[in-house]
């Protein structure tokens, strides 16, 4: 990332720590109201000061990394329930956000885990969440890897990434190249958003698991009731 990137990450870390202290008691962590109560995460929740504030008062712009999205929850739950999926393997979490799926893979015994998110603040949040869970900081990459030369990972994870048609198109082609070049296994977590259900990639997916979402998660996600984990097969 260079000097500028390092300065940005340091600034983000200081702001996150300041925000954590300002919430009273230090931080807001997931605590049984999501699918993975065993993973501790710093999140924006209804208990946080800024949850009900006007967006212009938020300390960060578009803090997607501070929300535990339902697709990521399903993906993380799946990995924790089936540690053999990631044990001993190299894992890439694309659009990693708060780092939950990457953390789940590491807790399940993955040999190497890389969290990829283009928001530098997400990398800082992931490192903080690693600390909360007693893990060494994961490698975080903030370059946009989608569309790049297919990386050689055994397992590629994507949670809640099919929210935009153009992005879904890019992912479809890139993931196919990753599978064909390296035999990567691709797992996708999604709660059934319209952009996902209506995309042609759905014809290349095999459902592996389906999870009912807790009531609090449903309320925060416009009534979505369940979230699924899919395996991507480009040749289906």
pLDDT, position 10: 52
Interval 15-46: pLDDT, tens: 555 555 444 333 455 545 899 999 999 887 77
- Three-state SS letters, 121-183: HHHHHHHHHHHHCCCCCCEEECCCCCCCCCCCCCEEEEECCCCCHHHHHHHHHHHHHHHHHHC
What are the residues whose beta carbons fall under 8 Å from the beta carbon of 103, sequence distance 6 or more?
A: 39, 76, 126, 129, 130, 133, 135, 138
CA 133 remoteness from chain centre: 16
CATH superfamily of 2-232: Vaccinia Virus protein VP39 (3.40.50.150)
Q: How close are the terminal C-alpha atoms of the chain, in Å?
A: 38
Question: What tens-digit pLDDT sequence spans the chain (236 residues)?
Answer: 443 344 345 555 555 555 554 443 334 555 458 999 999 998 877 777 766 777 676 667 778 898 899 999 999 999 999 999 999 999 999 999 999 999 999 999 999 999 999 999 999 999 999 999 999 999 999 999 999 999 999 999 999 999 988 999 999 999 999 999 999 999 999 999 989 999 999 999 999 999 999 988 888 888 799 999 999 998 86
pTM: 0.87
- Three-state SS letters, the chain: CHHHHHHHHHHHHHHHHHHHHHCCCCCCECCCCCCCCCCCCECCCCCCHHHHCCHHHCCCCCCHHHCCCHHHHHHHHHHHHCHHHCCCCEEEEECCCCCHHHHHHHHCCCCEEEEECCCHHHHHHHHHHHHHCCCCCCEEECCCCCCCCCCCCCEEEEECCCCCHHHHHHHHHHHHHHHHHHCCEEEEEECCCHHHHCCHHHHHEEEEEEEECCHHHHHHCCCCCEEEEEEECCCC
């Amino acid at each position: 990332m260079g000097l500028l990137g390092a300065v940005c990450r340091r600034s983000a870390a200081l702001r996150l720590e300041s925000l954590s202290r300002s919430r009273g008691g230090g931080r807001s962590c997931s605590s049984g109201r999501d699918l993975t109560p065993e993973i501790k995460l710093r999140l924006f929740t209804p208990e946080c000061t800024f949850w009900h504030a006007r967006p212009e008062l938020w300390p960060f712009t578009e803090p997607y990394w501070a929300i535990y999205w339902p697709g990521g929850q399903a993906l993380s739950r799946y990995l924790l329930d089936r540690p053999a999926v990631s044990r001993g393997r190299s894992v890439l979490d694309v659009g990693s956000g708060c780092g939950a799926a990457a953390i789940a893979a590491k807790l399940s015994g993955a040999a190497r885990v890389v969290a990829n998110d283009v928001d530098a603040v997400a990398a800082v949040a992931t490192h903080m969440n690693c600390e909360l869970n007693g893990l060494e900081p994961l490698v975080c990459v903030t370059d946009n890897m989608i569309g790049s030369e297919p990386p050689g990972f055994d397992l590629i994870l994507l949670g809640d990434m099919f929210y935009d048609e153009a992005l879904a198109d890019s992912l479809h082609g890139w993931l196919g190249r990753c599978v064909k070049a390296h035999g990567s296994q691709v797992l996708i977590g999604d709660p059934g958003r319209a952009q996902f259900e209506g995309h042609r990639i759905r014809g290349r997916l095999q459902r592996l698991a389906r999870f009912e979402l807790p009531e609090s998660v449903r309320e925060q996600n416009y009534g979505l009731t369940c979230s699924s984990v899919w395996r991507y097969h480009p040749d289906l």
